[in-house]
Structure 1
Amino acid sequence: MKKIVFIIAILFTTVTVQAQEFGIGVHGGYLTELEGVGGGLDLNYDFNEKWGVAFGGTFAVDEDFGVRNKWFALDLNGRYYVVDKLYAFAGGEYLSITVKTLGLGGGSLESESEVSDSDFGVNLGTGYRYNIIDNVNLYAEIKYVLLDAGYVHAKAGIHFSF
C-alpha cells in the first residue's frame, strides 16, 4: 500500500511540476504620462495553463527644458490566460516619481530643486507571449494604471522560461 501511495505521489508531483513555469523577462516600453521610454525586468510564475503571477519593475527617465523626470514603478499582477498565450492581468503598482529642475547653467547660475512623490495604483491590461524557440519568447503588454494621474504603459521584450 505504501508503494502505491508513493507512486501516485510521484506521478502527481511530476504532472504538477510540468504545469508550472518560471520566467524572467527584459523589456522596454513607452509611458504616456511621462511621454518617455523606460526599461525594466519582469519575473513571472505560472501555476498552471490558466493562472499565473508576475512581478515587474520599470525605470524611466525623461529630460525636457531643464526638468528631469525619473519614474520607478513596481508591479504585482495576477494573470489569467484567455487563449493559448494571450492573457489578461490585474494587480497593483507602486510608483515613485522624482522631478528635478536643473537650474540655469546646469545649476551654476540658479540652484537646482528636487521634489519626490510616491503613489499606489491599480493595473488593468493584456499581453501576449510568442514562443520563438524552446524557452525563449517575445512578449508585448499594454496596461492602464489607475492613479491620480492615470497613464498607459506599453512594453515589449524578451522572456526566458525555466
Structure 2
Amino acid sequence: MVNVLVLCTGNSARSVLSEAIIGRRGKGRFQAFSAGSKPTGKVNPFAIKLLSAKGYDTSGFRSKSWDEFAGTDAPKMDIVITVCDSAAGETCPIWPGAPVQVHWGFPDPAYVEGTDDEKLQAFSDVYDMIDPFIEQLVALDVENMDAGALKAALRAIAERAA
C-alpha cells in the first residue's frame, strides 16, 4: 500500500477533498491521509456536502494536525503533497523526513463569499481541479519507481496541468 499524506494549512477543504479522491481512485493501492499545519478543527461543511453528493462516505473525515503523522507510531508516508495555493500568499506546511514531496497548489474554496450555492460551486470547481491530478497519480507505477523518478513524475503532473 502506498501511503499519501495531503497537507494544507487548515485541513478543512482541499486536503480533505484530495484525501477522498485518492481513497476512491487508488482503492487497494493507495491509502490517503490529510492534515494541516494549523487545522481548523472541523471539515468545512461544503466539503462534506459535496463529497456526500458524490457518493463518498464522509463519516471518517476530520480536521487534524500533521502532528498525528509525525510520531514514531504513525504510518510511514511514501508521498507528501501540499495543496495550498502559494500564489495566494498562503504558507504551505513543510514535511520533514524521507517521503517524496510535491506541491500542487489549488485555490481555497473556503474563502469564497456568496450564497450557499456559490460556495458549493467553488468546492465543486476545486474538486474538478484536483481530480485529474489524482487520476494521473494513481496511474503511475509508484511501487516500481525510485524516489527520484517518482518526484519527477509528480512534478510532471503539475506541469501538464499548468
Scaled by the length of structure 1, what TM-score is found?
Answer: 0.23
Q: Which has the higher contact order (CA 8 A, sep 6+)?
A: 2
Scaled by the length of structure 2, what TM-score is found?
Answer: 0.23
Bigger radius of gyration among the two: 1
Q: Which structure has greater helix proportion? A: 2
